[in-house]
Structure 1
Amino acid sequence: MARVQLRHIAQARSGDKGNTVNIALFAPTTEIYDVFLKEVTAERVKEHFTGMVEGEVTRYLVPNLKAMNFVCRGALGGGGSRTLRVDNLGKCYGSNLMRMEIELGRHG
């Protein structure tokens, strides 16, 4: 069993609309996607973004692409033109999610 950051085994894309951030996470194999199903939950993503995402996090599965899409509400301090944050766009959220650690190899 190994603890690994997502950046070593996955790819992500992210963006924003208003005060909502969208993050797509892509697994390279079906086996890793199956681990993501158990390890990368909406609750864990919300916890990972503590202090940044104030609203609900919803996970949508896209199994034919070995992907999942997270919609994070209340994530930009009111939106790009209203927030006082230095980085007011959702692009950074994909990179930030890549720092999340999961257990690889414990699921069978």
Structure 2
Amino acid sequence: MKLKEIAHTRTGDKGNMSNIAVIPYDEKDYPMLKEFLTAKRVEEFFSEICFGEVRRYELDNICAFNFVLEESLGGGVTRSLAVDKHGKSLGMALLEMEIEK
């Protein structure tokens, strides 16, 4: 299944850094995502565009994660020649990740 079937994202960007919050629709899916959706997996998923560190912050009190992707926006939103290099597009891309449930 794809991540989008059990979660949604909220995103932001600043300079050459993007952050992606992943929030499951149902809290019961949080422990499974906690095990599967690692910083390493997100880093591998974005390996073609993210050239810096990927950090995962766990927000257990609200059953959510925040991933920070450094050096992921082609120099920054205003410096990149790529179309739509904003954090929003990275959040939508992450939702296409195949997960095992």
Q: TM-score with structure 2 length normalisation? A: 0.95
Question: What is the RMSD computed on CA atoms of the aligned residues?
Answer: 0.9
Distance 2:24 2:61 in 1: 11
Matched-pair contact (CA < 8 Å) for 1:28–1:66: no
Q: Give the deviation of 1:28 after TM superposition.
A: 2.5
Give percent identity, aligned residues only. Answer: 45
Structure 2 residues not aligned, in runs of 5+: none
Letter in 2 for 1:54: F
Structure 1 residues not aligned, in runs of 5+: none
Q: How many residues align?
A: 101
Distance 2:78 2:84 in 1: 11
Cross-structure match for 1:18: 15
**Runs of at least 4 residues of structure 1 off by over 2 A?**
28-31
Letter in 1 for 2:66: N
Cross-structure match for 1:67: 64
Pick the structure with more strand per residue.
Answer: 1
Cross-structure match for 1:30: 27
Q: Give the deviation of 1:68 after TM superposition.
A: 0.3
Q: 1:1-108 counterparts in 2 under 5 A? A: 4-104=1-101
Q: Secondary structure of 2:19's partner?
A: strand
Distance 2:79 2:92 in 1: 23
Letter in 2 for 1:49: F
Q: Secondary structure of 1:74's partner?
A: coil
Distance 1:17 1:48 in 2: 21
